[in-house]
Amino acid sequence: MTMDFADRVERVAPSATLAISDLAADLEAEGVDVVDLSVGEPDFPTPAHVVEAGRDALDAGHTTYTPSNGIPELKTAIVETLAGNGLEYTTDEIIVTPGAKQALYETFQALVDPGDEVVLLDPAWVSYEAMAKMAGADLARVDLARQDFRLEPALDALGETVADDTDLLVVNSPSNPSGAVFADAALAGVRDLAVDHDVTVVSDEIYEAITYGVEQTSLGTLDGMADRTVTINGFSKAYAMTGWRLGYLAGPASLVEQAGKLHSHSVSCAANFVQHAGVAALEGPDGPVAEMREAFRARRDMLVDRFAEHGIDVPVPDGAFYLMLPVDRDCDAMDGSRGGDGEALDQAWCEGAIEEAHVATVPGSAFGTPGYARLSYAASEERLAAGIDRLADAGYL
Ligand code: PMP
Ligand code: GLU
């Protein structure tokens, strides 16, 4: 029998970030030493006090289902954390999810009907497009790459795109993959458009704790935004908890009511003991977060300097742990014999880099911006330096 798959699934591609890190893992299993700069996953262990809280929770028997939207202690800790960012939410306005990805998925499913318009700012993290498509959305995209990944110079273009029939706009600051942290003036521009055209905004703030000398502003704090913003956050990046799968959405109670139905019928709840570990992450010492942030900043500085030594100017990221390397340049490995323009070229660069230099990166086209490769610098300085040496030796810089 040939199964007849649903259009909504057939129209999306697998996650490019995860696919490339799987490829890197396959090569490593064959004995190849790969410098894996593909997936965005902190290379630090989860802070010890968080692990201990998870272990204690298991010992204490926290192994059952929890209330679907999360344990009260965690929802309270989340509300207090959000209040620290100037966001006013109550515990009834939170859903605790297995990862921020699930929070985003539920948000798209709850808000987007087939044919609704969803606006993305490119480069945009790979899963927004897939989630929008799975909800049946029509996508409109606004390019920030030509503006050094800044939003302010693209506000006019955004103004031409966002219209009364726009349903959802996705903002991710600090951004994966560009590392841009959008300025307050740019966010005010987003607010004006959202209010004028009655648009809901998804503000994915999962990298909010990872900024370098600049302040991240939560969109929901802006006048007129509280009841039209869904704030997404999670524990994977700030607390190095990718494998624990813990995140949340915060939004108006009406959204929580609708998304909560999807949540209870799909995942039931996030894992019980993991939620207890989450309380420890939010309420415990934040020294480990600061240490990781400083390490990421040192790595960013090193990468920017090393690329400059090779004559390559990279837009300096102010947050997250990614950097967009322009690959649409002359280099020995890409002497015109492969790739073409745009998408094909960055795909060819990334394929060559992993096959010949054994350095794994993600093509910019996966994020809607061909001509770049995304490097994750959630890797040690030694590995990053080795990665650059290998790329240079193989003619990719
Ligand atoms: N949003 C962005 C921008 C991300 O980079 C990620 C990384 N996976 C997520 C959401 C989801 O993170 P998680 O599901 O691990 O919480
Ligand atoms: N968000 C990370 C990345 O972009 C993890 C992989 C994923 O969830 O797509 O690499």
Render pLDDT for 211-222 as a digit per residue (tens, 0 to 9): 999 999 999 999
Q: Atom of ligand 1 at shortest distance to CA of 172?
A: 3
Residues of the chain with pLDDT > 90: what percent?
Answer: 90
pLDDT at 17: 82
Which parts of the chain fold into alpha helices (H)? 7-10, 16-29, 48-59, 72-84, 100-111, 126-134, 155-161, 184-197, 253-266, 272-283, 287-309, 342-356, 381-393
Q: Any idea which residue has 């390019």 for tokens? A: 143
Distance 192 CA to ligand 2 centre (A): 30
Q: What integer is the mean pLDDT of 250-270?
A: 98
* CA-proximal residue: ligand 2, atom 9 (nearest): 17
Mutate which of 20, 97, 127 for ligand 2? The one with the most ligand atoms within 8 Å of its CB, which is 127
Mutate which of 237, 245, 267 for ligand 1? The one with the most ligand atoms within 8 Å of its CB, which is 237
Q: Is the CB of 40 under 6 A from ligand 1?
A: yes
pLDDT at 341: 59
pLDDT at 16: 82
Confidence band, pLDDT 50/70/90 cuts, at residue 340: low
Distance 40 CA to ligand 2 centre (A): 5
Distance 127 CA to ligand 2 centre (A): 8
Give the C-alpha separation, 38 to 374, whole Å: 7
Give me 137's structure tokens.
Answer: 């959305």
Confidence band, pLDDT 50/70/90 cuts, at residue 21: confident
Distance 177 CA to ligand 2 centre (A): 9
* CA nearest neighbour of 358 among 36, 38, 20: 36
Task: Kindly tell me the number of DSSP H helices and DSSP E strands found in the chain.
Answer: 13, 12
Q: Which residues contact 287 (CB under 8 A, 6 or more apart)?
A: none
Q: Is 233 helix (H, G, I), strand (E, B) or coil?
A: strand
Give the C-alpha separation, 373 to 11, whole Å: 24
Tell me the per-residue pLDDT of 299-320, one tens digit each, with 9 for 90 and over: 999 999 999 999 999 999 999 9
Residue type, 377: Y
pLDDT at 121: 98
8-state DSSP, 45 = P
Distance 241 CA to ligand 1 centre (A): 11
Q: Atom of ligand 1 at shortest distance to CA of 17?
A: 8
pLDDT at 134: 96
Confidence band, pLDDT 50/70/90 cuts, at residue 236: very high
> Ligand 2: residues whose CB is within 6 Å?
15, 17-18, 39-40, 125-127, 176
Tell me the per-residue pLDDT of 94-122, one tens digit each, with 9 for 90 and over: 999 999 999 999 999 999 999 999 999 99
Confidence band, pLDDT 50/70/90 cuts, at residue 200: very high
Give me 82's structure tokens.
Answer: 């959000």
* CA nearest neighbour of 70 among 222, 298, 269: 269
Q: pLDDT: is 347 or 238 the higher one?
A: 238
For residues 130, 315, 182, 172, the Cα torsion angle rounded to the nearest 10 degrees is 20
Give the C-alpha separation, 349 to 327, whole Å: 7
Is residue 342's pLDDT more than 60?
no
Give the C-alpha separation, 297 to 77, whole Å: 28
- Nearest ligand to the CA of 179 is 1
Q: Is the CB of 75 under 6 A from ligand 1?
A: no
Give the C-alpha separation, 253 to 273, whole Å: 26
8-state DSSP, 319 = B
Distance 172 CA to ligand 1 centre (A): 10
* CA-proximal residue: ligand 1, atom 5 (nearest): 176
Residue type, 302: M
Q: What integer is the mean pLDDT of 20-24?
A: 85
